Structure 1
Amino acid sequence: MTDKSFLQRRQWIKGTAALGTVSFLGLPAPGRAQAADPWARAKEIADVFAKPLPFPKRDFVVTAYGGKPCKVHKVAGYPTIRAKGQVVTPLPGSHDSHPALRAAIAAAHKAGGGRVLVPAGDWYLKGPIVLLSNVHVHLAKGARVYFSANPADYARDYPEARTVDCGRNGRLVLSRWQGNDCFNFSPLVYARGQRNIAITGEDWTSILDGQAGVPYEDGSGPGWWGMNQKGAEKGALHQGVDNPANPPLATMAPHLDAAMLARIEGDRPNGRADEKYLPALSEAGVPVEKRVFGLGHYLRPCLIEFMDCEDVLMAGYQAVNAPFWVHHPVKCRNVHFSKVKMESIGPNSDGFDPESCDTVLVDGCWFNTGDDCIAIKAGKNADVGYGPTRNVVIQNCVMNSGHGGITLGSEMSAGIEHVYAQNIDVRNIHYATDPINTVVRLKTNMNRGGYLRHFYVRDLKLPNGVRLKPGFYKPIPGGPVPANTVPTGGGAVITFDCDYTPSFDLVRSRPPEVSDVHISGIRVSNVNTPDGSFGCYQAFVVLGPVMKSYNGPADKPVLPVRNVTISDCDFGNAVRADAPWFIHNARDVTLRNVTIGGKRYDDKLSG
């Protein structure tokens, strides 16, 4: 089941990543002018996308290939993972327009490119949209695509997706799930190894609906969200409990001795749950072609995932009810994500997660998500072959709900550098019932490791603050930071968490390195509560790597977080007025014109 061409490209990219300062698209290493004004590099990145992608001006309308609109009705389901209610879905027996859409894409690709048009109306697809080079799929105003609520439809033979026969698990595609490579269900929109591709909408009435809260069409369960602990029926298998379909790790990794197997598996419960088993396969060095999930497993696919693509546009539509992450470009170059609205309050519903990508522009997007709005990633455990994520600009966005606003990690083993975020309106409109936990967030640990450097943030508005009830850090017992004292899980406006969920990962031998982070122009407004008027629990938390969590070779250095500047910021009132920030294992954290609770701070901190 080995895909040799893909594996060869992985080795090439692994080698080029070691060069460090070379961008795939030729952006230079920062010179003196850029060092003086790092935002000059941000402009260079954004300017890459000034010219539209070149698609031939010819249309391939799905109705010409047999597509027909469907009728819809309401059924009981989950509008969000937090509440049951009525959801809209196609009527049973609706016409399947998936063959028509596939035929239109194939015709456009064969003709040398063009636009595949989905007209206004409701459309039912029993399978994924698979993009091919030089094809632009466009949803007209009022077009809504409903992807079938049937996992088997994403485990069929789609040659254009380069599916692989995985026996009873189905015909699966190469994917990456929470930073680890595997073969799994096809994402609902997918491409691999393509160039010059786009999926767009006319406006936010152009909708891609993942139907993750709709019950399975055969009545066998509550739907995609039921594969997660939060949505699973009582007693049902899900991603967090042992799956009998997963063989013992010793069977999959016979090259490992008993000591190493014990180190990877430990004695924790549910070690063969899919969400733990895949990282264990990576840690054990099991080849990707043997990491097979799909049918009989519980790793939900992304709504949109592009693998190893170049010149990618996602723009102008609304994405709702994603099974897992909403958008996930992996090892892509030149990714433009513009004016997309996301409404997906589901488990792990990150809005936009570029992973191991180079040159990305996020502009004018609107987030209302069940997890991080944006989470920049770069592999997990030993899966670093796609290289780092670098050269990312995020600007002019609105963030309404989510765990984190601008997040880096937690899967960042190959590193993240040159990220710029500016002019973000963090409205936190659900602050009373579902507040944003934290706005600028780094999360990694001694397993995920990686580096973060050259991260710049400016001009963020928080009219309703952040979560006021702390989500406390849960350390390895016996460490220097007591449990239930530091709000790494929510409550700080800025959170550097270098010991994120340390007990989840048993092999903790990759200390992260964090440096050169510069944040300015954050403005936090207070909200009124029965206990007073507050904007945050604490203004910022810098939890550097915690030595107690490390269990690797003794000669590997564990470095502090260093060279951090926070300037010209007003964090409003902190609930912890007596301790408005927390620092551990950090050096040279500089505050310039920082106001907390009406008091100005100009200090250099270490801890």
Structure 2
Amino acid sequence: MTDHRITAYGARPDDDCTDAIERAVRACELTGGRVVIPDGVFVTGPIRLRSNVELHLSAGATLRFRTDPSAYPIVRTRWQGIECFSHSPLIYAYDEVNVAVTGTGTLDGAAGVDNWWADTKPVDDWNLLLRMVCDDVPVEDRVFAPGHGFRPSFVQPYSCRRVRIEDVRIVNAPMWVVHPVFCSDVLIRGITVDSLGPNNDGCNPDSCSDVVISGCSFDTGDDCIAIKSGRDADGRRSGRPSENIVIESCRFGTGHGALTIGSETSGGVRNIHARDLHITGPAVDHALRIKTNSDRGGLIEHITLHDTVVESVTTSAVLIDTHHAEPTGTHHPAVRNITLSNLQVQVAPRTLEIRDTPESPVHGVNFR
């Protein structure tokens, strides 16, 4: 494997290294190999990975991202379950094969209340996007010009195969942290997410298949792991489920749900197997949270949670809710075949809470 150190392409600590990193990626793309961030603090704009390129951070490296939205070009993305063209994720790959982000260094999104977190959901742009979906506007025409649009995800491989994200520490994300969309063969292993901002979900497989999340640690401002498959009509249009996902040996310290499914579940979620999870609390609301509603629709089935220790949660250890957020739609979801075994709950106001409706009853919850 060939290493391409960004300093060989003109990068210097504390300077803007966007162009140097892009040159290193292009050189690496020709033969395959690693773009190496050496020890030190390097500043960059968005990074676009290509096939057979691994972005590797050495142990003493910090890659700090610019917070000026104008630095981030408009690309195809998915924002809260709806496809559109908006600001590029900080690290992005589109329709690539064999891409990776590795190493024990730090990725710092530098997000805060004076930049990305200042306007969490621009009302006019969000309402426009919802109207576009209602009017069947093609995705290619849902374009938000620079200065508009939405906070980007931190790491987003989109329509990629063979994705690996391993060992890195990720802090201060603008939005969702690790957010693969329409991907297959995804390994997320050993990462540490410490990002307490608004909507800072830790890891969101979104309409993805064949995913392993292993040995990770999460302290987040929203859900820690949240499995999704598109929102409302746009999720039903694409019709891509999240399926065949294994989650194992992870730690959860802060967040709404340790393992959440939803609420964007319109494409369906199935075959999710979680084991050896440790909820250390006390700042986690739920160990397992399933949330959907009649706006979303979709089928959620074959969910298993084994060998999990819950030291403390603030509400219900397990919450299954088919009436989340007071919906008004007619696309009633189905939730069935949930298996919980060797679930050890030490402190919780409730162990199991089910909120369902006559139109969307929960079927087949099994304790073993």
Shared fold (TM-score greater than 0.5)? yes
The equivalent residue for 2:93 is 191
Say which of 202, 210, 213 aligns to 1:351: 202
Instruction: Note the alpha carbon deviations across 1:455-504, whole angstroms, 9 max, x for none.
Output: 111111112x211xxxxxxxxxxxxxxxxxxxxxxx1110001111025x
CA distance in 2 between counterparts of 1:317 and 1:62 reads 18
CA distance in 1 between counterparts of 2:145 and 2:39 reads 33
The equivalent residue for 2:293 is 445
CA distance in 1 between counterparts of 2:300 and 2:291 reads 10
Offset, 1:559: 4.2
The yes-or-no answer on 1:493 pairing with 2:314 is no
Whether contact under 8 Å (2:162, 2:184) holds in the other structure is yes
Offset, 1:154: 0.4
Aligned positions of 1:456-475 closer than 5 A: 456-463=304-311, 465-467=312-314
The equivalent residue for 1:139 is 57
The equivalent residue for 1:91 is none
The yes-or-no answer on 1:65 pairing with 2:3 is no
Instruction: Note the alpha carbon deviations across 1:194-245, whole angstroms, 9 max, x for none.
Output: 00111101x2xx00000111x7xxxxxx1000012xxxxxxxxxx254x3xx
Task: Compare CA radii of gyration and give the structure with the larger one.
Answer: 1
Aligned positions of 1:68-217 closer than 5 A: 68-70=12-14, 95-110=15-30, 112-125=31-44, 127-155=45-73, 172-201=74-103, 203=104, 206-213=105-112
Offset, 1:561: 1.2
What residue identity is the alignment partner of 2:265? M
Offset, 1:62: 0.4
Offset, 1:288: 1.1
CA distance in 2 between counterparts of 1:278 and 1:394 reads 33
CA distance in 2 between counterparts of 1:346 and 1:282 reads 28
Offset, 1:192: 0.3
Q: Please give the root-mean-square deviation of Cα atoms over the aligned residues, in Å.
A: 1.4
Instruction: Note the alpha carbon deviations across 1:10-64, whole angstroms, 9 max, x for none.
Output: xxxxxxxxxxxxxxxxxxxxxxxxxxxxxxxxxxxxxxxxxxxxxxx11111011
Say which of 259, 262, 276 aligns to 1:423: 276
Whether contact under 8 Å (1:227, 1:298) holds in the other structure is no
Mark the runs of 5 or more structure 2 residues left unpaired by the alignment. none
The equivalent residue for 2:354 is 542
Instruction: Note the alpha carbon deviations across 1:330-385, whole angstroms, 9 max, x for none.
Output: 01010000000001000000000001111000000000000000000001112231
Offset, 1:284: 3.0
What residue identity is the alignment partner of 2:322? C
The equivalent residue for 1:264 is none
Deviating beyond 6 angstroms after TM superposition, the runs of 4 or more aligned structure 1 residues are none
The equivalent residue for 2:115 is 223
What residue identity is the alignment partner of 2:9? Y
SS in 2 for 1:132: coil
Offset, 1:280: 3.6
Which structure shows the higher strand fraction? Answer: 2
Whether contact under 8 Å (1:331, 1:386) holds in the other structure is no
CA distance in 1 between counterparts of 2:110 and 2:149 reads 16
Equivalences, count: 366
TM-score by length of 2: 0.96
What residue identity is the alignment partner of 1:421? A
The equivalent residue for 1:234 is none
Distance 1:345 1:559, change over 3 A: closer
Aligned-pair identity in percent equals: 38
What residue identity is the alignment partner of 1:207? T
CA distance in 1 between counterparts of 2:72 and 2:203 reads 21
TM-score by length of 1: 0.59
Whether contact under 8 Å (2:106, 2:169) holds in the other structure is yes
Whether contact under 8 Å (2:86, 2:149) holds in the other structure is no
SS in 2 for 1:327: coil
The yes-or-no answer on 1:395 pairing with 2:244 is no
The equivalent residue for 1:566 is 367
Distance 1:459 1:386, change over 3 A: same
Mark the runs of 5 or more structure 1 residues left unpaired by the alignment. 1-56, 71-94, 156-171, 216-221, 229-238, 244-273, 468-490, 526-534, 548-557, 568-607
Say which of 211, 218, 225 aligns to 1:374: 225
CA distance in 2 between counterparts of 1:210 and 1:294 reads 22
